[in-house]
A and B are shown apart, each in its own frame.
Chain A
Amino acid sequence: MPEQPRIERPHADRIQSERPMIEIRNVTRSYGAFKALDDASLTIREGEFFSLLGPSGCGKTTLLRMIAGFDNPTSGSIAVGGQSMEGIPANRRPTNMVFQSYAIFPHLNVEQNVAYGLKRLKLQGGEEKRRVEEALGQVSLTGLGKRLATELSGGQRQRVALGRALVMRPKVLLLDEPLSALDKKLREQMQVELRRLQQAVGITFVLVTHDQYEALAMSDRIAVMFGGKIAQVASPKEIYQRPVNRQVADFLGGMNFVKAEIVEENGASLIVDTLGFGRIKTDKPKAFVRNGGAATLGIRPERLRVLWDNATAKFEVAGKVVERHYFGEITHLIVEIPGLEKPLSVTETNDFGADDIPVGTPIRLAYDPEALVAMAD
């Protein structure tokens, strides 16, 4: 009998240094009365792939540009590699940036673009050529060195921008929505490549994005930002599974919200009464702040599973399908539950025929009480 391959469970997180690379302390950036960034504090670790995630106007780009030196905090401090960045202009910071528009110099070819920053260093004995070749290799552009920027596709331009920054061997690579101009397929491919590249070179990457899937797929940690404030900093899994508030939960994909009354609160858990789900014991999030007797619980649509035929589960709710939306690999069901003010959305894979459930069918849904997360409003 052939030997079964053994599947090792991967480590949830890559082992990495705990040393801080970027320290942002109480940084505020005001434009008149408007605060683009409001008392933000954040520590980004060495070798980390860190994402600043939020809707447009949340201050993520402002923060990135302040790390790069294109903008200065109104108050507060930024340090990179233990050195305060106050008064240090962009051209003398140990950071390099990949611009949203790529900012490829159109009058230079690929090689000259990549070598642009090295020219000042006056490297000896072919070292410059060697480093340019190495960088072109890292971004899979070997052999395209003589091409003009105008002859490149969007994806290739992006690689030039990446190579041009990496060749400087910065302590921190800053990426300003680098994938937003690419089409979906290329974007997904570049996500994987960027992640691979980051792990290969070990440089701290700071990515600005408004695309939650991009942040989840690539990052070691994510800071979610709204209205100039940092709402939550955590690993992708933590952010997705245990969002601190409704805003964060909503921004990172679908979430069903359920109103609840707190029955009992102790160290690590909460006991709550809900109308649809009854009495539930759930983990109390570290950041949970009690606000009177009411609480909000959230459950992701994919954590609700359709119970077929006579199957039963320890925890289930019963309701009726009111809408059905087909998405190819999954089906989205909207299920009305007696007692709940809003119907639940449920995503179910199509393996068992969720795409064939007629609207109006009575249905039972299984859930894990652990998946119902308490959060601030």
Chain B
Amino acid sequence: MRARRFLPGGWLSAYAFLYIVFLYLPVIFLPIFSINTAATPKFPLTGFTLQWYEDLPRTPALLDAAWNSLIVGVSAAILSTVLGILAARSITRYRYPGRRAINGLIMAPLVLPEVIVAISMLLVMLQLGLSLSLFTVVLGHVLVCIPYSMTVLTSGFEGFDRSLEEASADLGESAFGTFRRVTLPMVAPAIISSLLVCFTISLDEFIIAFFLTGTEATLPIYIWGQLRFASKLPGVLALGTLLLVASFLLMTIAEILRRRAARRTQNEGGLYA
């Protein structure tokens, strides 16, 4: 790459640094102000406290919202992963007309404006006569989670050497036994990774939950509600920090598992003639 030489190294580094700062500075403010004694987020910092964190478990509405988020997150994760497994297996294993188109349609929610998706889903749910509840939120979250689930699972399933399943059958194992002893252990990391990714996305998702929920709030909706009260802001910052850390950890574990799954299914054998 000779062209790269013409770009002065110093300028490129400066640009990259500014870019990262722009991306992450706001995120860094969140934990910083969450341990500040002042109720308003501004510099200079007044003192260190963990009080805002200690207050969190003493807020019943927050605990309700956390519980709701957990229910929605777990349900959405399981549902989207199950559907994702079926879709990913079909996309990676079989060749049929319309395969690419179907893949594209499944991935589409990634780029659709979320507000539009949320409004459309709301209309459909109401038309179907469903009353808004956590259940409708789960349905909405499944829609936005499946593209992520698919991405993770496809990378885990792709390159799964079919002769592994044949070898198992050849060694006397039944179809179910083969699934249990070969297929499942090999794709398990990808499945767990997909569950974690979907759970995280559902946990952080606001717009769809906002439109589709009834009276029950999820954590992002609770936070949105709290923003009206200036005095509640430090608590929101503390909660936001916890969500941030949780999401970061879950995504990291998910990515590690996804890579392990992809490595595992790669065929380490020989060449195909």
Q: Which residues of chain A have a CB within 8 Å of any CB of chain B?
A: 56, 68-70, 89-92, 95-97, 99-107, 116-117, 120-121, 149-150, 154, 157, 164-165, 168, 177, 180-182, 210
Contacts and interface: CB of A to CB of B under 8 A. Distances in A.
B169 A89 contact: yes
Given A101-B163, A103-B164, A116 B270 contact: no
Contact of A99 (B181, B268, B269): B269
A103 B167 contact: yes
Contacts of B273: 56, 100, 177, 180, 210
A165 B163 CA distance: 14
B173 A107 contact: no
Contacts of B268: 104, 106, 149-150, 157
A115 to B, nearest CB: 10
A14 to B, nearest CB: 28
B166 A120 contact: no
B173 A120 contact: yes
Interface in B215-273: 264-265, 267-273
B172 interface: yes
A121 B164 CA distance: 20
Contact of B271 (A56, A107, A181): A181
23 contacts: A70-B166, A89-B169, A99-B163, A100-B163, A100-B270, A100-B271, A100-B272, A103-B164, A103-B166, A106-B186, A106-B264, A106-B265, A116-B168, A117-B171, A120-B173, A120-B177, A149-B268, A154-B270, A164-B171, A165-B170, A180-B273, A181-B271, A182-B270
A90 B174 CA distance: 9
A121 B173 CA distance: 10
Given A89-B169, A96-B170, A107-B264, A101 B272 contact: yes
Interface in B119-173: 161, 163-164, 166-173
A120 B270 contact: no
A116 B171 CA distance: 7
A182 B57 CA distance: 63
A102 B269 contact: yes
B166 A91 contact: no
B171 A168 contact: yes
A104 B182 CA distance: 11
A154 to B, nearest CB: 7
A100 B185 CA distance: 23
| Max count, chain B CB within 10 A of own CB: residue among A101, A117, A168 | A101
A181 B273 CA distance: 9
Contacts of A107: 185-186, 264
Given A100-B271, A157-B268, 6 more contacts: A91-B169, A99-B166, A101-B267, A105-B168, A181-B271, A210-B273
Interface residues of B, number: 26
A347 B249 CA distance: 69
A182 B161 CA distance: 19
A214 to B, nearest CB: 13
A69 B167 CA distance: 11
Contacts of A104: 268-269
Nearest to B271: A181
Nearest to B264: A106
B171 A101 contact: no
A121 B264 CA distance: 27
A69 B169 CA distance: 9
A180 B269 contact: no
A70 to B, nearest CB: 6
Contact of A157 (B161, B164, B173, B269): B269
| Max count, chain A CB within 10 A of own CB: residue among B166, B167, B264 | B167
Contacts of B171: 91, 96, 116-117, 164-165, 168
A111 B161 CA distance: 21
Contacts of A168: 171-172
A182 B273 CA distance: 13
A180 B270 contact: yes
Nearest to B265: A106
A97 B264 CA distance: 22
Contacts of A154: 270
A56 B181 CA distance: 33
A85 to B, nearest CB: 14
Contacts of A120: 172-173, 177
Contacts of A105: 164, 167-168, 182
Contacts of A95: 170
Given A101-B272, A102-B269, A104-B269, A91 B173 contact: yes
B166 A90 contact: yes
A190 to B, nearest CB: 12
A104 B270 CA distance: 11
Contacts of A99: 163, 166-167, 269
Interface string B172-193: 1110010001100110000000
Contacts of B168: 105, 116
A202 to B, nearest CB: 21
Nearest to B188: A107
| Max count, chain B CB within 10 A of own CB: residue among A56, A69, A106, A164 | A106
